Structure 1
Amino acid sequence: MRRRPLESGAIASAGYDAQLSVLELEFTSGEIYRYYAVPPSVHRGLVDAESAGRYFRDRIRDVYPAEHRH
């Protein structure tokens, strides 16, 4: 999945597969996570957010099922 860089102190890049509703995030720590059943509006909200880290914390983390990628 292709990820695009984000201007964020917490999230380095984000990718989204609209067909599968999968959001993939690479954090500045180097950790990569995939979040499942994420609607397109949430991906757009993350990319457009003034603070991607805050948006992630409030609207994605602990809301959607996640998988740690190695």
Structure 2
Amino acid sequence: MPSTVIQNTLYDPTTRTLSVWFVPSGKRYDYEDVAPATYAAFSKAFSKGRFFNEFIRDCHRYRRVA
């Protein structure tokens, strides 16, 4: 997953939770109620950061994970 903004992601389809680790801090945020189709499109997106900003960041509740 080459991205200058997103270090790594993990998706749990059972809970529809998308975990995102950001560059360079490595901090993790969990985004709630992300549809499987949204995650599939995110994983295929050429620009992960652009897709994240447009379709995930302000569209889903989130929490920082310590």
1:57 counterpart = 2:53: yes
User: What is the aligned partner in structure 1 of residue 6 from structure 2?
Assistant: 11
Task: Provide the rounded CA distance (Å) in 2 between the counterparts of 1:38 and 1:63.
Answer: 9
After superposition, what is the alpha-carbon deviation per residue over 1:21-42, rounded to whole angstroms, capped at 9, x for unaligned?
0000001121100000000011
User: What is the aligned partner in structure 2 of residue 3 from structure 1?
Assistant: none
Q: Which runs of 4 or more aligned residues in structure 1 lie more than 4 Å from their structure 2 counterparts after TM superposition?
A: none
Query: Residue 44 of structure 1: SS of its match in structure 2?
Result: helix
Deviation at 1:12, TM superposition (A): 0.5
Task: Provide the rounded CA distance (Å) in 2 between the counterparts of 1:22 and 1:39.
Answer: 9
1:26 counterpart = 2:21: yes
Question: TM-score w.r.t. structure 2 length?
Answer: 0.94
Deviation at 1:69, TM superposition (A): 0.7
Question: TM-score w.r.t. structure 1 length?
Answer: 0.89
Deviation at 1:45, TM superposition (A): 1.1
Stretches of structure 1 that go unaligned for 5 or more consecutive residues are 1-5
Stretches of structure 2 that go unaligned for 5 or more consecutive residues are none
